[in-house]
A and B are shown apart, each in its own frame.
Chain A
């Protein structure tokens, strides 16, 4: 009796422990596999046959759609580069790693790419917080890191004013969109008296509102009303009535599409006819569903690029993308694609795969022409590039104009 029981217990312990040991063994053996691989092929990094570009991206978790889009764009770019003979005759290998949309996993992924896969350069995560979680690793291992869509200013610039040497970005920063919107309101629409209705619970929206206000005052306009809402609000009518009584010629509404959709709908219901404008946070098909196509007429957004842009290279990219993935590329696809070309350009100019040489080349980038605009990198590692203004016409985004900084 006891004999039998003990046997059973032994069996279960054995099973449980073998599961753990098995996982451990699998883990270590595969790690060894990759490290010996990279040891023999990349070695010192100088005379390697392939150039490895890591992708530390949100492939699962809360913002998986951003990371996956960037990955698709990057893969298309790498395919094209390899078909055209690679970078300096070397083929490019893409090493994507999932960071689950979590800070800690982003740090882990960056360390893994730096120490295990020994990548030449990294594409940093899509969201600003996750990029910051990888910045120190990039600096420590001297691996140039480029984020496709981390727009917060403190990604490249620390609080004490120092620059994260090895961190760059392909997108413009948040405040820039506010400036573009202000210039658009003054110059294109001729608006003098404007109102701001911002999401008070997001730093993104607050940053945009502040830079918009500053620029509009510089342009000689006046902010006649300033109101705020909080994410997840659903009834905006009382605030909108107040806004209406101030009689603005233009309303700037920085925020995300979920609330903005309802705001636009309720504003039109209350008879506010003034043009409304937002930024890339509006860019989602859900916006049209929430607001309705008609209410969205006479609204504008700033964005990174537009698939309707008549520019030839953009149309070439759109066609190539559609034939590979059979869907129309969004801004994240384009930014992911551009990030790879941004890195490629720097490696070519550096003439080596040494991290510091590439870092220097990235910082010196000038007038590089890519899908999301022609840009030069400023001293804060931010690209100086144009933004695209889109107009909603019957529920569809239409290319309106390109605004240069």
Chain B
């Protein structure tokens, strides 16, 4: 009962946000510049939330997320540019194949733990990148030119579905299985939880939505090149999750929004851009060592707010 309330509440909130932003776009208040920042924000939220399910919920340290994003981006680009399919079909294709790649990598490598898994995922992401680099069909190092098809609606629907699925997964029986792995893998194994199965499921779902984000990315920025999806991109995504608070879905979302805005704003100061960006990261981590939200969710704050007055 309670859970479904949160579910419908989120849907209503999403609809309201969508209506307001769409109204502002139609009214000409938000020009292409702001629309583009919004789309980028949506892509970053999807990436952050899809990594959150792997790192935050299941506690598996993966630093190869950009690899799955690359799969989604390239497969969807092939679907629209070479096979002439429509964008929604392409997004689904990219996401499904990305999930398959996640499954393929997850089954052998998720038996590893901690640092070893991190290295394995990093290696995998590099392999994907090198494959795209050497396949002439997708343009090799020079990259693949993609028509711009993404609109704010695609990006927003993508975010809503991503958050809904991952939030519901986390609250489900499977999600609790994953959380128990995060808390203590040996104990949960002893309790009869099939740890490898849950880890692979979480990993596959994570790569599915990274594929969605990659597909939307590919169709927004005119060109995709293998260098875009290098390990630095993986670290960018990791920063969202860690900054937001490991284990907090709303934290990952807020951090993605926050850092997208900071990054866009700092484009005006090219000389000091990276210094300020890094300072922001350091300051946040110093004052909020567990991330912006810790392991709390934003909904728990609202419940709290009711008691202490309607300030929040």
Contacts and interface: CB of A to CB of B under 8 A. Distances in A.
Partners in one complex: yes
Count chain B CB atoms within 10 A of each CB in A57, A102, A135 and give the residue with the most: A102
Interface in A126-179: 128-129, 132-136, 152, 154, 158-159
A111 B134 contact: no
B295 interface: no
Contact of A103 (B222, B268, B307, B308): B222
A160 B66 CA distance: 30
Contacts of A59: 270-271, 273
Contacts of B311: 10
A97 B269 CA distance: 8
A225 to B, nearest CB: 23
Interface in A99-142: 99-100, 102-105, 107-109, 111-112, 114-116, 128-129, 132-136
Nearest to A60: B274
Interface in B256-300: 257-258, 261-262, 264-265, 267-268, 270-271, 273-274, 284, 287-288, 292-293
Interface stretch (A20-28, A342-350, A361-369): A20-28
B224 interface: yes
B36 A107 contact: yes
Interface SS of chain A: helix
B268 A132 contact: no
Nearest to A57: B270
A11 B217 CA distance: 37
A9 interface: yes
Given A103-B228, A154-B145, A159-B145, A201 B301 contact: no
A139 to B, nearest CB: 11
Interface stretch (B14-22, B103-111, B135-143, B162-170): B135-143
B267 A133 contact: no
B142 A128 contact: yes
B199 to A, nearest CB: 31
A13 B312 contact: yes
A62 B134 contact: no
B40 A104 contact: yes
A23 B265 contact: yes
A59 to B, nearest CB: 4
Given A20-B258, A24-B261, A103-B228, A60 B288 contact: no
B267 A6 contact: no
A108 B37 contact: yes
B162 to A, nearest CB: 19
A111 B36 contact: yes
A9 B298 CA distance: 12
A108 B308 contact: no
B33 A116 contact: yes
B189 interface: no
Contact of A98 (B142, B143, B270): B270
Nearest to B35: A111
A15 interface: yes
Contact of A27 (B143, B261, B301): B261
A133 B270 CA distance: 19
A166 to B, nearest CB: 14
Contacts of B284: 19
B223 A133 contact: yes
A109 B258 CA distance: 19
Interface residues of A, number: 50
A202 B265 contact: no
Contact of A133 (B222, B254, B265, B273): B222
Nearest to B283: A19
A405 B158 CA distance: 51
A23 B37 contact: no
B268 A104 contact: no
Nearest to B133: A201
Given A108-B36, A135-B222, A23 B258 contact: yes
A105 B267 contact: yes
Nearest to B130: A201
Given A6-B308, A115-B33, A96 B270 contact: yes
Given A10-B308, A158-B145, A202-B141, A103 B288 contact: no
A16 interface: yes
A67 B33 CA distance: 23
B268 to A, nearest CB: 7
B71 to A, nearest CB: 17
B221 A133 contact: yes
Contacts of A308: none
A101 to B, nearest CB: 9
A13 B298 CA distance: 10
Contacts of A103: 143, 221-225, 228
A388 to B, nearest CB: 25
A30 interface: yes
A154 B261 CA distance: 32
A107 B224 CA distance: 12
Interface string B31-67: 1110011001000000000000000000000000000
A124 B99 CA distance: 37
Point out which of B223, B264, B304 has the most chain A C-beta atoms below 10 A from its C-beta: B223
A203 interface: yes
Interface string A370-386: 00000000000000000
B221 A111 contact: no
Given A60-B270, A62-B227, A96-B270, A154 B222 contact: no
Nearest to B307: A6
A109 B267 CA distance: 8
10 contacts: A9-B304, A10-B311, A10-B312, A27-B265, A30-B268, A57-B270, A62-B227, A98-B267, A103-B221, A112-B33
Given A10-B312, A26-B265, 9 more contacts: A6-B307, A19-B284, A59-B271, A62-B227, A103-B225, A104-B40, A112-B33, A129-B143, A132-B223
